[in-house]
Structure 1
Amino acid sequence: MRKEIFIFIFTFVLIGAGLLASPTVFAVGGGGGGSVPSCNADNWDCTGWSQCGSNGTQTRICSLTYDCPTVSTPKPSESQSCTPPAPKPSAKPQPQQTEPKTPSCTKDTWTCSTWSQSCDIYGREQRTCQLSFDCPNIETPPPPESQACEKLQCGNKSTLRDRVSCRLNLAPAGAARDLEIQYLPEACRVKTGAEQKECVGRYKSFQPCWNAKEGDERFSCARNVLKLGPLVSDEVKTCQGKKGRDQVACKIALKEKVLYMIAFRFYDLETRAEELGNRGADLNAIADFETIVELKKQAFDKASINAERRQIILDVRKAWQEFISKVKDQIK
């Protein structure tokens, strides 16, 4: 019994030391003898073949799982030839997206409409402008969308009444712009050549007087422009003191000054009527009155005798009274 236990322990030690593959190498039994089991090959355990590489070879790994003591079995092959798979077509390289280059520029671009066909009451033409190209890092001011009118609004009307009415419906700036383009008072329009030029010059010389206070101050300004004294009788005496051609020339010049002074008074009534328009007087009534006065001024200029001139003065006075009677309830 002790011998059997010793053999078992010894065998277990050999197995633990790796000298025996299995405890079944020796049979342990009472009184009986043991023998080595028969084998004819080593045992090898191999993994599966790898995928075929591009070089036409596939591999595996083999490990010895049982070493037969009496036999030496060659290790199985761990590589073999194979047919590699057809290469996949390479994708075409996609062109790189590049941002479009911003063209060099020096200013913004503006697109404007044409100027308006008609001018507004302020004597201005209008248009609209839009930014069509914004140049980076540049700030270009927009073009002007308003400019002084380049064409007449009233001066080219066909009738006196239409011209007067047109001017009355303009703002002061619009009326002034019309006069800048063409300064031609109605009294001068019927004249031609040198006479028209002289008439225009005379009316222009009166312009500062409209800034004077209405009444004596304004009339005094006009007399200074005409170089006419406060009393016509004194001017007559001065001419009578001259002789011959000098006296004749003096009387002609004095008569012309007096007639222009009367025309200025007519003009003053028109201006006063327009000032009443700013206080609510009907513009049509003003246009009617100014048309009458302008026609009377033309008749006064053509009159050859004093009786005609006196009648015209009375007609203008009557027209003024009728106008005031018509608009007095409208004035604020």
Structure 2
Amino acid sequence: MMKQSWSIGNAVIGILMLVMLSGCGTDTKTEYIQTSAPDSAYLVEYIPGTTTSGAMANATTGKTTFKLRVRHRSTYAAATGLSIEMTPTMHMATRDHGTPADVVKESATPGTYDCTIYYLMASGTGAMGGYWNLQVKIGSETAVFYPSVSMAMGTDTIRATLKGQNDDLISSTTGTSFRSYYLFKDGDATNTSINLFLASDGNLAQSYPMIYSGATLTNYQNIAWTVSSVLVEATTDTSSSWQSGTNAASDGHWLVSGLSLTSAQTNTVYVRVTVNGSAKTTDGMVSNVSGTNTYATFTTTLP
């Protein structure tokens, strides 16, 4: 569900669009927004993802997929071949921060774009609560949505965090802090593999770049450095061998195969991350004697 203040003009346009596009599906929970000046050239429609039963699904913590349908405001024709940037921001009482998002890609349907955001937290109220807004930028124009993000349901781990150490610091509201490396569940596991999405936070938690060989990060002094090597490994037994992940598209999506997971039960998978030869840990400290701070833990239940 969305919260959005509409001007009278935008409301009229939205109603007209809903009437004109009534043959395109049951869009009763979608929302149209007109892009900003200078030209206000586009109408952008937020289309929620769907559940396994086909019902529209609200945004949740962890991986959330949805579509953006873009039309030219002057002709209502599908706007194809666009370069679209998404900036999700959590607004809290004391500070704002972002969250990781994937690259927007046009789908097989002209003018409709596939989108994925990996939400770090839910919308809420109180001292630790806040609200999300989503800026969709097309050239010099922007459409703004306000997704309501709920907590993910179920027992599977949706996200785990590892930390950089003293040689991997970013600036924060309190000075400096260890860089966080976020591992998100990126689809269902199989009997032999898991899919993960890997991103980190930038200075003041305003950017969340994907982690892969060739990615550019900045340190607490805002000096850029290049990720030259990344190793993502997983195992179901930390005393046994670790399986190395692959990153075929050179982005934040990682696949680790060669695992042994059992159907109809909850499995525990351990994941470790090494960037430029530096192992990331759960607490930002060097590896302890037992090595238990060198990996993140995921639980996943197979059907």
Q: Pick the TM interval, shorter chain.
A: under 0.3
**Which structure would you say has the larger RCO, counting Cα contacts within 8 Å and 6 or more residues apart?**
2
- When Rg is computed on C-alpha atoms for both structures, the one with the higher figure is 1
Q: Compute the TM-score of the two structures, normalised by the length of structure 2.
A: 0.23
Structure having the higher strand fraction is: 2
Q: Compute the TM-score of the two structures, normalised by the length of structure 1.
A: 0.21
